[in-house]
């Protein structure tokens, strides 16, 4: 018997097997020797990688809307050779991996290219008042930024981890083709959830891997820009936050930059929409709600720091007399640096004593 798990997480087959063997249930016998022996001998839990985005058509959540089959829609690990590889491989987008470590490379390509590029893109799109990822077609500058981020940071990092340049470039080209497909579009604010977790796993992991192999490497300005954009997105502009219920994570409010060019680019009566678990956004007012993990430490720290920056900028303006409490620009810059370093120190692998991180 083969159990093929299509949950979107690494080692999904191993996870299901562990749950089968360890989960408690009513009437569970004390001696599981026979059961365990049967599972080990007769049941195969295959690790897999899945990669196809499926949404629904506007106005009808029961009718699916999806992209064409990617090259690797479903990759199945079969180290024992129990599956009929010929039958499975004949299906579009399905691949069988019979060599240990090959599935991990598939995951690495997906995580460090597809997921990383998506993460670098969505916060920039959201801050530019773009509602869906399809809107990247309207911003050739964003595509240029992503191309340079891939070339300067992502591709070299993959090379030191065993992925050759040709394979990485092919994966990137296919991903960008998928991103630009009309049925691929996802809500940018929805994709932007769990920002710091995604940053660490998808983007900073490339920096960490490269630094481990090359002490002279320094992240490019494009990686620095991707980092700055995420921190900007996570900066609240209101002191108040709310909770859906007692013990629930705090919900913060951010504000998009004001539009300098008065040429209409969206309806002035744009309605507020709900994008996830009661979170709202409105590109007309520029207000959006977001969560920042369970405790909201990043957002709270950025809120305090942003107030110091705004206070300093106002006190240096002719329109605002200098307050006796206003900090000097050097003090503000120092405070911003400390805040950013504190936030990034929560990311796995970030080491301020290493010049690449500093």
Q: pLDDT for 31-73, tens place per residue?
A: 889 989 999 999 999 999 999 888 778 788 888 888 888 999 9
What's the sign of the alpha-carbon dihedral 224, 229, 231, 232? Answer: positive
Per-residue pLDDT at 335 exceeds 70: no
**Burial class, 336, CB count within 10 angstroms (exposed 0-12 / middle 13-18 / buried 19+):** middle
DSSP letter for 187, please.
Answer: B
Per-residue pLDDT at 324 exceeds 50: no
Per-residue pLDDT at 207 exceeds 90: yes
The angle formed by the CA atoms of residues 135, 141 and 144, to the nearest 5 degrees, is 110
Per-residue pLDDT at 318 exceeds 70: no
In the predicted model, what is the mean pLDDT of residues 229-257?
Answer: 86
Closest CA to 110 of 88, 129, 95: 95
Q: How confident is the model at residue 127 (pLDDT cuts 50, 70, 90)?
A: very high
Q: Does domain 105-358 have CATH number 1.10.1040.10?
A: yes
Q: List alpha helices for 60-213, DSSP H.
A: 85-89, 102-109, 116-127, 140-149, 155-159, 165-179, 188-191, 195-198, 205-213
Q: Best-predicted range by mean pLDDT among 140-149, 242-251, 333-342?
A: 140-149
> Percent helix, strand and coil across the chain, each rounded to 5?
45, 15, 40
pLDDT at 204: 94
pLDDT at 317: 45
Q: From CA 123, how far away is CA 9, in angstroms rounded? A: 23
Q: What is the CA radius of gyration of the chain?
A: 24
Residue 274 pairs in a beta bridge with 280
Q: What are 76-112's pLDDT values in tens digits?
A: 999 999 999 999 999 999 999 999 999 999 999 999 9
Q: From CA 89, how far away is CA 168, in angstroms rounded? A: 22
**Burial class, 155, CB count within 10 angstroms (exposed 0-12 / middle 13-18 / buried 19+):** buried
* CA–centroid distance for 189 within its chain: 11
- In the chain, the N- to C-terminal Cα span, in Å, equals 52
Q: What are 5-26's pLDDT values in tens digits?
A: 998 888 999 999 999 998 888 8
pTM for the whole thing? 0.84
Domain edges within the chain: 1-100, 105-358
Q: From CA 36, how far away is CA 30, in angstroms rounded? A: 12
């Amino acid at each position: 018997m083969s159990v093929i798990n299509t949950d979107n997480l690494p080692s999904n087959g191993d996870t299901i097997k562990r749950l089968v063997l360890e989960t408690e249930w009513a009437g569970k016998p004390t001696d599981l020797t026979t059961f365990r022996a049967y599972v080990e001998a007769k049941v195969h839990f295959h690790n897999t990688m899945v990669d196809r985005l499926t949404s629904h058509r506007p106005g009808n959540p029961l009718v699916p809307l999806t992209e064409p089959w990617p090259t690797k829609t479903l990759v199945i690990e079969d180290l024992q050779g129990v599956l009929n590889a010929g039958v499975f491989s004949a299906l579009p987008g399905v691949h069988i991996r019979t060599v240990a470590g090959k599935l991990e490379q598939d995951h690495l390509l997906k995580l460090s290219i597809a997921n990383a590029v998506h993460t670098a893109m969505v916060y920039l799109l959201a801050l530019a008042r773009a509602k869906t990822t399809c809107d990247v077609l309207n911003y050739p500058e964003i595509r240029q930024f992503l191309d340079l981020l891939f070339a300067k940071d992502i591709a070299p990092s993959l090379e030191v981890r065993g992925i050759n340049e040709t394979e990485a470039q092919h994966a990137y080209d296919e991903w960008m083709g998928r991103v630009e497909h009309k049925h691929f579009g996802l809500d940018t604010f929805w994709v932007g959830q769990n920002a710091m977790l995604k940053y660490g796993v998808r983007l900073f992991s490339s920096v960490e891997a490269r630094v481990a192999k090359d002490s002279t490497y320094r992240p490019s300005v494009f990686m620095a820009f991707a980092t700055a954009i995420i921190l900007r997105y996570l900066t609240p502009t209101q002191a108040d936050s709310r909770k859906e219920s007692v013990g629930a994570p705090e919900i913060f409010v951010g504000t998009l930059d004001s539009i300098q060019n008065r040429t209409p680019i969206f309806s002035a009566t744009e309605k507020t929409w709900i994008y996830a678990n009661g979170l709202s956004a409105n590109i007309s007012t520029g207000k959006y709600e977001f969560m920042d993990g369970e405790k909201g430490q990043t957002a709270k720290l950025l809120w305090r720091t942003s107030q110091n920056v705004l206070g300093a900028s106002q006190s240096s303006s002719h329109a605002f007399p200098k307050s006796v409490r206003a900090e000097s620009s050097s003090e503000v810059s120092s405070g911003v640096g400390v805040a950013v370093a504190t936030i990034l120190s929560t990311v796995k692998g970030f080491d301020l004593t290493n010049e690449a991180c500093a």
